[in-house]
Structure 1
């Protein structure tokens, strides 16, 4: 029995010794892995910092380039808008000039034709009334949506009759009556 206690004690001591060396071996392995992990973490942090630095530098350069391009395009747009405003002003002035010239031309034409009609009435010894630049719209007996109006240069009312005198080309319907 003493022998079995001794054997059992030797086995227990052997197991404790083996367990100690196994734990020591695994601790060394974990320490090495921990050190390798810490080294890898430091390297990864350095790489992340470098990438962040490159990204921020690239972002700054991109923003700077974007802002410069935006300023360039804004200046170009403003120059084009100013040029377009000048063109529009010239067109407006030209339009007003043409409108004034046409108004004066038609006004002078109406005055000249009016003078000629009055002179002809005096030569023919006709008394009457001369109406100029008359706008009218025909009576609508139908209820259609088409609605129009017309303009006549002169309407001469005398004791001999009523005459509509048009001094220019008229491309619409002429009502006789």
Structure 2
């Protein structure tokens, strides 16, 4: 099996996330792409705008109707979500014959050498690096990297959260996700986040 892994805060997930995931799925002939919300992202010190449960639900809603895309809750645990720990769990779950392809934006891949136990990460997965305007990256000698240049990742969850907090109309969200955000008043100023 050729299994794609796409981790992130997904706070919220938006159409650019889906476009990149689908492009990677088709371009590299993957059997499936798991979208994995981080519960406690190790490289983002700020708190998320929505809870883990809410972010997972939005990913589940976004994946509906997209064949090959699947929400995965493997990082629903206490402690930071390190890629190596997730890969080790997935190896147990999917077996030694599964090849992992870790989808990542060029901006995040540029910092890959700061990752925890990165040498082991390089041994366990290949990378699909999605281009992002204005970001260049070097490929470490031990890393296996496939470039995804057919789709430029231009979306910004930060900008979407800012617009939602301001009460502005927001484009770029999957319909069911936008509906869920509205129904639950997510990202509104003064809202108390649940678990």
Whether the TM-score (by the shorter chain) exceeds 0.5 is no
* TM-score with structure 1 setting the length: 0.19
Tell me which structure has the larger Cα radius of gyration: 1
Q: Select the structure with the greater relative contact order (CA < 8 A; seq sep ≥ 6).
A: 2
